[in-house]
Amino acid sequence: GGVIGILGGGQLARMLTIAAGRLGYHTHVFEPEEDCPAAPLTSARTTAGWDDMAALDAFAEAIDVATYEFENVPTAALDRIERRCAVLPGRHALAVSQDRVDEKQFLNDLGLPTASWAAVDDVPGLTTALAAIGAPAILKTRRMGYDGKGQVRLKDDAPAAAEAALAELGGAPCILEGMVDFDSEISVIVARAGDGSVSAYDPGTNEHRGGILRLTTVPCGQPERVVTDAVLMAAKIVTSLEYVGVMGVEMFVTKGGLMVNEIAPRVHNSGHWTQAGAAVCQFEQHVRAIAGLPLGDGQRHADVVMENLIGDDIERIPTLLAERDTQIHLYGKSEVRPGRKMGHVNRVTRRRD
């Protein structure tokens, strides 16, 4: 038993809460929004802002370990919580993933290939970066981007368009990335326990629509050597960070081999298939890791296609309910908005013996 504190109350927190409950833990969710997906399931809640130090203190007193469902948790809030209890995954992984420049530098220092990149600290820096990286390229905010928000594509190196893009993103600091000509995108969901043991799920192929993940398919259809490379790269990342918990590692498959796109120090949307395709899903695996339990069996026992239900997709629920071999997850969000993740389905396409 014990109490797991979760920072953020979205769908990832909701599914972590379910997994924690199955293992006999209580959860305590800290989330500023009153109406959040984790609300009906968590044993306790704090509804307060990230700058409410008294609320953070009381939260940290009430839990045994803190984890988070999103990588943009304010640093000051974590500093405060860490005075009273451990935060897992640790701060180093979080810091690296919060800043795209630090993230790329960290990956390259490990010897892992990424898109070519240059930091953009001001308007003149953009010209220098464009000259170094060339077009086409993608300009991204260094911090806070998600679901493809906070990025603009530059099809050529025209300075006026580039400056307009920078202004659109709210100015520097940004990162300019060379456009990777990838064959496909895959991700590895990897877990590391405090004793250093590492377990990775089979990589999945990811397809996006409008910058948002739409489908994840396992198996990913890549040759065995690509799968092995992907898993070894993910393992190298979590090992070097002395990471504890589940991480999502997004990669590009290119003619020249794999490149790492970004890392997410948390359970990951592209790992939702594990709920239907492995004995121990990513949410339970994360709970096990941060609670100091042994990692579970992540062996894939089925072929699965995970489909996100985004915005109006929710209207398809009656049809989805009639499908065989389809596991439906709804996040309990009352308001439908375009681009909003309302739920997902896991379709088992083949069972393995």
Pick the closest to residue 20 from 283, 266, 269, 274 (CA basis): 283
DSSP code per residue over 50-91: TT-HHHHHHHHHH-SEEEESSTT--HHHHHHHHTTS-BSS-H
Helix (H) or strand (E) holding 167: helix 159-168
Q: Which range of residues in 12-20, 61-69, 146-154, 281-289 is near ligand ATP by CB under 6 A?
A: 146-154
CB of 319 to ligand ATP, least distance (A): 27
Is 304 known as a binding-site position?
Answer: no
Should residue 180 be labelled a site residue for ligand ATP when binding is judged by CB under 6 A? yes
Provide the residue type at 154 as one letter: L
Does 97 bind ligand ATP (CB under 6 A)? Our answer is no
Q: Does 99 bind ligand ATP (CB under 6 A)?
A: no
Q: Does 58 bind ligand ATP (CB under 6 A)?
A: no
CB of 233 to ligand ATP, least distance (A): 16
Q: Quick one: how far is CA 327 from the chain centroid?
A: 21
Sketch the per residue contact string, 255 through 274, with Mg ion: x for CB under 5 A, - otherwise: -------x------------
Angle formed by the axes of helices 100-109 and 91-98, nearest 10°: 110
Q: Contact, 4 vs 63, CB < 8 A?
A: yes
The answer to whether 57 contacts ligand ATP (rule: CB under 6 A) is: no
Question: Which residue among 17, 42, 261, 285 contacts ligand ATP (CB under 6 A)?
Answer: 261
SS3 helix, strand, coil % of the chain, rounded to 5? Answer: 30, 30, 40
CB 217 within 8 A of CB 173: no
Which lies closer to Mg ion via its Cβ, residue 177 or residue 250?
Answer: 250
Residue (of 180, 166, 176) closest to 101 by Cα position: 176
CB of 65: closest distance to Mg ion in angstroms? 24
Longest dimension (CA), the chain: 59
Nearer of residues 62 and 95 to ligand ATP, judged by Cβ: 95
Q: Which of 12, 15, 94, 138 binds ligand ATP (CB under 6 A)?
A: 138
250 lines the binding site for ligand ATP (CB under 6 A)? yes
Cα separation, 337 vs 187, in Å, equals: 27
155 belongs to the binding site for ligand ATP (CB under 6 A): no
Residue 57 near residue 3 (C-beta atoms within 8 A): no
State the minimum distance, in angstroms, from the CB of residue 175 to Mg ion. 12
Site residues for Mg ion, window 197-256 (CB under 5 A)?
A: 250
In 3-state terms, what secondary structure has residue 39? coil
Name the one range near ligand ATP by CB under 6 A: 90-98, 176-184, 235-243, 294-302: 176-184
CA atoms of 286 and 221, how far apart (whole Å): 26
The verdict on whether residue 262 carries a ligand-binding annotation is: yes
Burial 292-330 (b: 16+ CB within 10 A, else e): eeebbebebebbbbbbbbbbebbeeeeebeeeeebbebb
For ligand ATP, the binding residue among 95, 110, 161, 179 (CB under 6 A) is: 179
Least gap, CB of 225 to ligand ATP (angstroms): 23
177 part of the interface to ligand ATP, by CB under 6 A: yes
Does position 115 bind ligand ATP by CB under 6 A? yes
348 binds, among Mg ion, ligand ATP, none (CB under 5 to 8 A by kind): none
Q: Do 292 and 194 touch, CB atoms closer than 8 A?
A: yes
Q: Specify the residue, 60 or 234, whose C-beta has the smaller distance to ligand ATP.
A: 234
Residue stretches of the annotated binding site: 100, 140, 145-151, 177-180, 185, 208, 261-262
**Which residues belong to the annotated binding site for ATP?**
100, 140, 145-151, 177-180, 185, 208, 261-262
User: What residues line the site for ligand ATP (CB under 6 A)?
Assistant: 115, 138, 145-149, 177, 179-180, 185, 208, 211, 250, 261-262
- Which residues lie near Mg ion (CB under 5 A)? 250, 262
